[in-house]
């Protein structure tokens, strides 16, 4: 079986979050010779496959087998992969069974490696992820088996295969702000306290403002207003309260506490309540890390491209690796149809991704 055949097999599993649909057992059987460990919780399956080849450092490939629902407007059955004009169409082709196929096939074919190779897979990355990768990492820490380095094969390329890898991710802070006023008749504004009027002169101090200046790795942490609502949808009653929601994709230079301090400064004269939650925290792997340098060189060896080091985009399971002190990077096929109808990737990209991973493993730990 080659990497394309393997991808077609993986795509045939209807592995909607958090159901792996049997795909993890198949991968376990495909990688005979690797020691398998399952840590399953609350319906989520997590598989760790490991093989020690030598005494060198531990390199892990990680990813997820679960996919989002297919939705409508597909031209073909999303769980029966179709090859057309050099592309493979099915749910999960880009996100991220192409990456899984590439590193599983790489580990299948490895003969010599001065160190330990492993694979970490979860069936719940597209969902809440509460019982996914982080649960397995906690288990590995208890056993003293945490990897030194990790590559997550999420789709990272922008327009050309090999043009971008991710060396970090921004965090995500959610804000829920309520301004209390006093409801009244629109004809007697002096008898009411209108929270919309109170917000108006402050809005430009929060909407779209940068909380830091960014740096070489991250864009500035910007406050993005996502929802404002208040009132009763009538024209003659002023609202008694106003609710505002915002999100900050924060770099390592801005914390949740600094967001709170900024809101307190802007709204200190008003009757308001602020709730902040944080779904993920920012992290970055240094540009001189071994895994960054080796992967960058392997991409150049295969594609001839000088790849861009990026931290753009949303969150991924790489945030968990970073939290456990593991140097982690992400690299996979072009990201342009993920979660969309007729999701697809090209056969050439899948084959080249596998070649990059093979080159990476070959040169990672020299004997």
What is each CA distance from 32 to 5, 21, 26, 39, 199, in whole angstroms?
A: 18, 20, 11, 19, 63
Token pair recorded at residue 171: 């965090």
Which candidate in 124, 125, 317, 330 is catalytic? 125
Upstream peptide bond of 18 is cis (omega within 30 degrees of 0): yes
Which three-class secondary structure state does DSSP give residue 255? coil
Which candidate in 19, 66, 95, 330 is catalytic? 66
CA 111 to CA 125: how far, in whole Å? 30
CA 57 to chain centre: 25
Nearest to 343 by CA among 163, 92, 84, 145: 92
Phi-psi map region of 54: left, alpha, beta (phi>0 left; psi -120 to 50 alpha) = beta
CA 107 to CA 288: how far, in whole Å? 25
Token pair recorded at residue 201: 């002169």
Token pair recorded at residue 341: 């109808």
Examine the residue annotation and report whether 125 is marked as an active-site residue of this protein.
yes
Nearest to 119 by CA among 35, 184, 203, 243: 35
On whether the CB atoms of residues 239 and 194 are closer than 8 A, the answer is: yes
Q: Is residue 231 classed exposed, middle or buried when 0-12, 13-18 and 19+ CB atoms within 10 A define those classes?
A: middle
CA 292 to CA 309: how far, in whole Å? 9
On whether the CB atoms of residues 295 and 116 are closer than 8 A, the answer is: no
Token pair recorded at residue 76: 């073909």
Q: Which residues are catalytic?
A: 66, 125
């Amino acid at each position: 079986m080659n990497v394309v055949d393997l991808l077609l097999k993986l795509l045939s599993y209807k592995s909607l979050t958090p159901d792996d649909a049997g795909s993890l057992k198949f991968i376990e059987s495909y990688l005979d010779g690797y020691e398998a460990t399952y840590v399953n919780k609350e319906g989520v399956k997590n598989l760790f496959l490991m093989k020690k080849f030598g005494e060198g450092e531990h390199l892990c490939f990680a990813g997820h087998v679960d996919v989002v629902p297919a939705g409508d407007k597909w031209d073909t059955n999303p769980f029966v992969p179709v090859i057309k004009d050099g592309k493979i169409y099915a749910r999960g082709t880009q996100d991220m069974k192409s990456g899984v196929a590439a590193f599983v096939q790489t580990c299948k074919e490895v003969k010599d490696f001065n160190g330990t190779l492993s694979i970490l897979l979860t069936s719940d990355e597209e969902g809440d992820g509460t019982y996914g990768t982080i649960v397995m990492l906690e288990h590995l820490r208890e056993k003293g088996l945490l990897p030194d380095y990790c590559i997550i094969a999420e789709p990272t390329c922008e327009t050309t295969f090999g043009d971008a890898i991710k060396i970090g991710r921004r965090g995500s802070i959610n804000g829920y702000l309520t301004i209390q006023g006093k409801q009244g008749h629109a004809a007697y504004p002096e008898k009411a306290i209108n929270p919309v009027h109170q917000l108006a002169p402050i809005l430009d101090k929060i909407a779209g403002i940068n909380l830091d200046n960014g740096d070489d790795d991250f864009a500035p942490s910007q406050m993005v207003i996502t929802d404002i609502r208040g009132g009763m949808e009538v024209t003659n009653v002023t609202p008694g309260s106003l609710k505002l929601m915002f999100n900050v994709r924060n770099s390592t230079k801005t914390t949740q506490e600094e967001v709170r301090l900024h809101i307190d400064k802007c709204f200190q004269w008003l009757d308001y309540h602020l709730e902040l939650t944080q779904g993920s925290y920012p992290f970055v792997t240094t540009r001189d890390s071994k895994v960054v340098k080796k992967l960058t060189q392997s991409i150049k060896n295969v594609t001839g491209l000088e790849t861009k080091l990026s931290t753009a985009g949303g969150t991924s399971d790489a945030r968990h690796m970073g939290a456990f002190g593991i140097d982690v990077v992400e690299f996979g096929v072009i990201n342009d149809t993920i979660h969309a109808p007729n999701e697809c990737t090209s056969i050439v990209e899948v084959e080249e991704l596998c070649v990059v991973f093979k080159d990476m493993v070959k040169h990672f730990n020299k004997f």
